[in-house]
């Protein structure tokens, strides 16, 4: 079991993740979001590690309160969060409001591979990999 800490007083559950790209790797902050369908990362962050729209393999659209917003899907070499690392992991690249102070959302595309428990009062997430979905 892996334990990830977060600030229980924050308005969002924010966890640290890491992505590896053509120009190295970089740490980012993601909101833990079980309502998102995919794991999202903002394009500005991916630019820093050498990814761009040319790495996308599918154009997508997200419907928000503002309307439909364009984005794209792409695989990243390695992605780590909650103490686990996945290779060739697909993310959704999409803008998010700068005011959130995060670089993306950790969504079910990552989370469905784990059993996890959020202990809000303790500021901890406990996670174990689901054996049948291990990569």
- Predicted TM-score (pTM) of the model is 0.90
Q: Per the structure, how many domains does the chain have?
A: 1
CB atoms within 10 A of CB 80: 17
- The answer to whether 33 and 14 are in contact (CB under 8 A) is no
The range of the structural domain enclosing residue 15 comes to 2-133
> At 98, which CATH number?
2.40.70.10
CB atoms within 10 A of CB 38: 21
Please write the tens of the pLDDT for every residue from 52-74. 999 999 988 877 666 777 899 99
d(CA 94, CA 18): 17
Provide mean pLDDT across the span 72-94: 96
- The answer to whether 28 and 18 are in contact (CB under 8 A) is yes
d(CA 23, CA 36): 28
pLDDT > 80? residue 112: yes
């Amino acid at each position: 079991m892996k334990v990830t800490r977060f600030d229980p007083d924050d308005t969002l559950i924010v966890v640290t993740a890491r992505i590896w790209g053509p120009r190295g790797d970089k740490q980012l902050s993601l909101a833990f979001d079980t309502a998102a369908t995919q794991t999202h990362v903002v394009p500005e962050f991916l630019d820093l590690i050498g990814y761009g729209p040319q790495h996308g393999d599918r154009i997508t659209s997200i419907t928000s309160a503002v309307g439909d917003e364009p984005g794209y899907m792409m695989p990243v070499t390695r992605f780590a969060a909650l103490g686990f690392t996945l290779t060739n992991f697909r993310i959704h690249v999409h803008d998010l409001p700068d005011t959130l102070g995060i670089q993306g959302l950790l969504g079910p595309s990552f989370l469905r591979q784990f059993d996890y428990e959020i202990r809000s009062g303790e500021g901890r997430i406990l996670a174990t990999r689901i054996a049948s979905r291990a990569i």
